């Protein structure tokens, strides 16, 4: 019973003092899309290692499909520096496009280092906005 009571307190607290973050739809959207980025980039890396053009196309396509949502989502930190955030989303788009183009051509020797740059963009945005 004590657990139920505590849960009630936690819920009340959540909708009260911290009402902003969890209930901001643009922030929720960002949070919901990140695990997909994580999965897709891991699958993409494997595809590039194997030289699997079809899988590389599919996974880079997943990242690219989410970019419009990423651009309009809201980060946790430095929320006011929205320009830089959109710029990094665009950079992710450019790098995913590059990886996709190179793997479509079967140029995996170039696609692999291009993927490293894509990953660096994930890290750059996290350093500043996560
Ligand atoms: C334009 C900015 C930006 C880019 C680019 C970006 N992220 Fe994120 N990411 C964030 C922010 C902000 C958070 C924290 C927000 C959240 O999870 O609610 C985050 C959180 C995450 C998390 C943690 C999710 C969780 O449940 O806490 C993972 C995993 C992640 N990102 C993976 C990636 C990968 C992989 C890439 C690159 C393919 C990437 N992100 C690119 C901004 C970005």
Domain of residue 57, residue span: 24-129
Structural domain total, the chain = 1
Using alpha carbons only, what angle is made at residue 79 by residues 66 and 15, rounded to the nearest 5 degrees?
Answer: 90
Predicted local distance difference test score (pLDDT) of residue 41? 98
Q: Whose CA is nearest to atom 19 of ligand 1?
A: 130
What pLDDT is attached to residue 9?
45
Determine the distance separating the centroid of ligand 1 and the alpha carbon of 2, expressed in angstroms. Answer: 36
- Cβ 115 vs Cβ 69: under 8 Å: no
Whether 10 is in a domain gets the answer no
d(CA 80, CA 15): 23
Question: In this structure, are residues 14 and 22 in contact, taking their beta carbons and an 8 Å threshold?
Answer: yes
Q: What is the CATH number of the domain that holds 121?
A: 1.20.120.10
Question: Per residue of the chain (130 residues), what is the pLDDT tens digit?
Answer: 445 444 444 443 334 334 455 668 888 889 889 999 999 999 999 999 999 999 999 999 999 999 999 999 989 888 889 999 999 999 999 999 999 999 999 999 999 999 999 999 999 999 999 9
- Structural domain contains residue 2: no
Give domain status of residue 50, yes or no: yes
Contacts of 58 (CB under 8 A, 6+ apart): 43, 47
- Whether 75 maps to a domain, the answer reads yes
Q: What is the pLDDT of residue 13?
A: 39
Pocket test for ligand 1, best of 37, 63, 67, 98 (most atoms within 8 A of CB): 37
């Amino acid at each position: 019973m004590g657990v139920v009571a505590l849960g009630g307190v936690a819920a009340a607290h959540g909708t009260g003092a911290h009402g902003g973050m969890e209930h901001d739809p643009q922030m929720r959207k960002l949070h919901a899309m990140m695990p997909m980025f994580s999965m897709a980039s891991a699958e993409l890396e494997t595809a590039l290692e194997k030289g699997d053009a079809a899988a590389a196309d599919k996974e880079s396509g997943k990242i690219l499909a989410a970019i419009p949502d990423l651009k309009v989502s809201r980060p946790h930190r430095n929320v006011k520096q929205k320009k830089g955030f959109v710029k990094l989303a665009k950079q992710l788009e450019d790098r995913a496009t590059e990886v996709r183009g190179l793997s479509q051509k079967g140029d995996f020797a170039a696609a692999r280092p291009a993927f490293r740059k894509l990953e660096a963009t994930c890290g750059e945005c996290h350093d500043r906005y996560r």
